Amino acid sequence: MSLPNSTLPISYIVLDLEATSAIPNVARITEIALLRVEAGAAVAQWSTLVNPGVAIQPEAAAVSGVSDAMVADAPVFSAVVPEFCMFLIDGDELPIVAHNGARYDKILLEAELARIGVELPMTLTWVDTLPIARKLLPAKPSHTLSAIAAALDAIIPGQTWHRAMADCMTLSRCVEAMRDLSPVAAPVAIVPVGGAIGPVAGAQAMLIERVNAVQPYLIMARAMTSCTDDDVEVAVLEAVDAFKREIRTLEKLRTECTSAVKPLVLQIEREFRDNGIKPLEREIDRLMAVRQPFADKRAQDAADARAKAEREAGEIAEAQLNADMARLAADAAIEVELALSGDVAGAMAAAGQNAAKVDAVNDAAQQVYDAGVAAAAEIVPLPIRTSAAVVRDRIGWKIEIVSPELVERRFCSPDPDKIRAVLDVTNGATVIKGVTFEAIALTSSRTTRG
């Protein structure tokens, strides 16, 4: 699949996907719609609900109007892929137009295809209308589909937002309306600073304002030298979030300044990089290093709890097995008595019954053990909630290959990823010759909605 295009084609296929959540690489599709447009006219359409196989998150259902009950009897994604492909093929593999398609629909579709191990029989060319709308409508505070449809007078009467086909039809009207617009160049800002007038001075003034604004966070952050409890960790993560937000603001300002004054790009880049962004990135690295030992300890505690839970599951299963086998001892004695008395047929029948009972006892013990191992695998470090993000740690493994010649051939060269996979499956309860490892916290964050 090619990267998103930035031009508006004459003929195209509009695509819209609804899903179980707003995170495209983990969400599952609940509705697909395709609308083929040729020379400005809609000539064909196809849509279907999809059973995602998982529950739809309440916030996603509230946005799209697609509920668990609506998709209960719908086909699964793998069953609709052939019709999906046939529509694209019938449309001569026209480019795919999607609003925010580069960051959502494309990622969501590729994740679903990868999940079922299917490759499309064609290469999709994507056109994302979101950046085009931002360029053509720079004065608008929002560039959601509903916002640009309102700005372009492209809203369909009685529009039902976030149902896939309705959104496809609205987007096609927006595409045709945007085709008539011409980009408007933003004026170059001339800001007087200390007697000097010019774009560089203006950029420096904006940078000074931002650097001053972030000073309170820097002072607070530099006072943090150790992580001793959850409150300190929350404060560390709050500072990290503030610095990341500030970096995004600086990068946006940098882009605005450099796009307006191309001959002075290098000078402005250097100002923002050396005096604004790099110091904050160094602070982020230092703060995360302050937090890491505390997070690693929490990960190790979780790993130890998982290993203990597995051991306890094994002990419980073994105790149950021993108790059940003891109860079968009387049945085994009957089998022996029948054999000694010469009742061969009776002894064989008893032996068959006893074997079946032993198999059932072993199966029951295995089920107890498997349930305990599954429960142990769910033990992970608790998430840390800050005002701006939910930070989740999962258990990972810091691996050191000390003696490659001792590592088993099944780990290939040896391959650290294969070693980590085995450690994940066994919760670290394994010994790999030539390798030392320890549990560490692998951190990811998701921005919370205000």
Q: Indicate yes or no: pTM above 0.75.
A: no
DSSP string of 128-185, one letter each residue: EHHHHHHHH-TT-S--SHHHHHHHTT-PPTT--TT-HHHHHHHHHHHHHHHTT----P
Distance CA 375, CA 355 (A): 30
Bridge pairing between strands 12-19 and 96-98: parallel
CB 146 within 8 A of CB 133: no
**How far is C-alpha 161 from the chain's CA centre?**
25
Give the domain extent around 209: 191-295
Work out the pLDDT band at 3, boundaries 50, 70, 90.
very low
In terms of domains, do 149 and 67 share one? yes
Q: How confident is the model over 49-104, as pLDDT tens digits?
A: 999 999 999 989 988 889 999 999 999 999 999 999 999 988 788 999 999 998 89
| Assigned domain for 337 exists | yes
In terms of domains, do 280 and 157 share one? no
DSSP string of 30-69, one letter each residue: EEEEEEEEETTEEEEEEEEE-B-SSPPPHHHHHHH---HH
In terms of domains, do 400 and 438 share one? yes
Question: Would you say residue 449 has pLDDT above 70?
Answer: no
Q: Find the distance separating the first CA and the last CA of the chain, reported in whole Å.
A: 35
Q: How confident is the model over 304-333, as pLDDT tens digits?
A: 888 888 888 889 988 888 888 888 777 777
| Assigned domain for 126 exists | yes
Question: Would you say residue 212 has pLDDT above 80?
Answer: no
Domain boundary among 146, 178, 210: 178
| Assigned domain for 186 exists | no
Residue with tokens 């796009």: 259
| Assigned domain for 254 exists | yes
Question: Would you say residue 407 has pLDDT above 50?
Answer: yes
The residue-averaged pLDDT of 416-437 equals: 82
In terms of domains, do 265 and 391 share one? no
Domain boundary among 295, 321, 345: 295
| Assigned domain for 3 exists | no
In terms of domains, do 394 and 435 share one? yes
| Assigned domain for 195 exists | yes
Distance CA 202, CA 194 (A): 11
- The residue length of the chain stands at 450
In terms of domains, do 345 and 398 share one? no
The residue-averaged pLDDT of 232-254 equals: 84
| Assigned domain for 183 exists | no
Number of domains in the chain: 4
CB 217 within 8 A of CB 239: yes
In terms of domains, do 171 and 22 share one? yes
In terms of domains, do 288 and 314 share one? no
3-class SS of residue 442: strand
| Assigned domain for 252 exists | yes
Domain boundary among 274, 295, 316: 295
CATH number of the domain that residue 107 is part of: 3.30.420.10
In terms of domains, do 341 and 215 share one? no
